[in-house]
């Protein structure tokens, strides 16, 4: 895709999802076992806080990020993981690119919340239990963030998408857990999923530029 051209759709776009079924051996891996086993479920948290403040609370509550954090690094690498998703749940390019936008939005929101909490600490009026931990994607949370983001983005940006049970099977985690991650992902994005075309194109161009630099230097991107 030449620099500056409109985002090119996936080759399978418009033909509907391919019904490629994961083999039994393909589902032998798992990205389960979070590092926040004692965290209350998303539904229980919503029962305690009104929906109007759910997004704000999701940012400050410790489990908002820990629910994406695995106890151990999944055995499958992120590149192989993305290829697996593309094979069994094919989506258009804009779905993948949208993840970068959503991750940036989450990062800005959490960073802003962290700054406000730190300012409150300096003034002596920081709410009890407020978190100041920032948002960082690493080997422990990237798989969950990706499968939750793709589940949401494919429903929002595509006319044809799969069921949560299929995304969960392909992603290597229970459907109930994916449902919780999906809601938490939405809360951390304030349910703001719309991405202007020019913003989407900017991210696509930057991704191409980054890929071009890697090919020119002959280096490989650092894995997360």
What does pLDDT average to over the chain? 75
Task: Tell me, yes or no, whether 122 lies in a domain.
Answer: yes
Cβ-count burial 138-176 (b if 16+ within 10 Å, e if not): eebbbbbbbbbbbbbbbeebbeebbebebbbbbbbbeee
In this model, does residue 16 exceed pLDDT 60? no
| Residue span of the structural domain in which 197 resides | 25-216
Name which residue leads in pLDDT, 198 or 160. Answer: 198
Task: Tell me, yes or no, whether 2 lies in a domain.
Answer: no
Task: Tell me, yes or no, whether 12 lies in a domain.
Answer: no
Task: Tell me, yes or no, whether 71 lies in a domain.
Answer: yes
Task: Tell me, yes or no, whether 4 lies in a domain.
Answer: no
Residue 122, domain CATH = 1.10.472.10
Q: Would you say the C-alpha torsion 69, 72, 78, 83 has a positive or negative sign?
A: negative
Q: What is the pLDDT of residues 60-113, one digit of tens each?
A: 554 567 789 888 999 999 999 999 999 999 999 999 999 999 999 998 888 776
Q: Model-level pTM?
A: 0.69
pLDDT of residue 9: 41
Task: Tell me, yes or no, whether 183 lies in a domain.
Answer: yes
The structural domain count of the chain equals 1
Task: Tell me, yes or no, whether 8 lies in a domain.
Answer: no
Task: Tell me, yes or no, whether 107 lies in a domain.
Answer: yes
Q: What is the pLDDT of residues 151-196, one digit of tens each?
A: 999 999 998 899 999 999 999 999 999 999 999 999 999 999 999 9
Which of 78, 102, 107 lies closest to 223 in space, CA to CA? 78
In this model, does residue 5 exceed pLDDT 70? no
Q: How confident is the model at residue 210 (pLDDT cuts 50, 70, 90)?
A: confident
């Amino acid at each position: 895709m030449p620099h500056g051209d409109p985002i090119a759709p996936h080759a399978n776009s418009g033909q509907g999802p391919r019904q490629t079924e994961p083999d039994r051996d393909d589902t032998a891996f798992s990205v389960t076992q979070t590092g926040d086993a004692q965290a209350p479920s998303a539904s229980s948290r919503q029962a305690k806080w009104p929906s109007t403040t759910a997004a704000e609370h999701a940012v400050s509550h410790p489990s908002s990020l820990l629910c994406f954090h695995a106890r151990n690094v999944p055995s499958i690498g992120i590149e192989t993981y993305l290829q697996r998703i593309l094979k069994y749940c094919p989506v258009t390019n804009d779905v993948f690119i949208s993840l970068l936008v959503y991750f940036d939005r989450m990062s800005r929101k959490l960073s802003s919340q962290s700054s406000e909490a730190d300012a409150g600490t300096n003034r002596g009026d920081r709410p009890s239990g407020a978190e100041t931990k920032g948002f960082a994607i690493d080997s422990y949370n990237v798989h969950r963030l990706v499968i939750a983001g793709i589940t949401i983005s494919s429903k929002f940006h595509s006319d044809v998408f799969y069921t949560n049970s299929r995304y969960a099977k392909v992603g290597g985690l229970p459907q109930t857990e994916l449902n919780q991650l999906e809601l938490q992902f939405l809360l951390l994005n304030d349910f703001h999923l719309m991405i202007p075309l020019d913003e989407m194109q900017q991210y696509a161009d930057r991704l191409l530029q980054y890929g071009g630099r890697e090919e020119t230097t002959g280096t490989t991107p650092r894995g997360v």
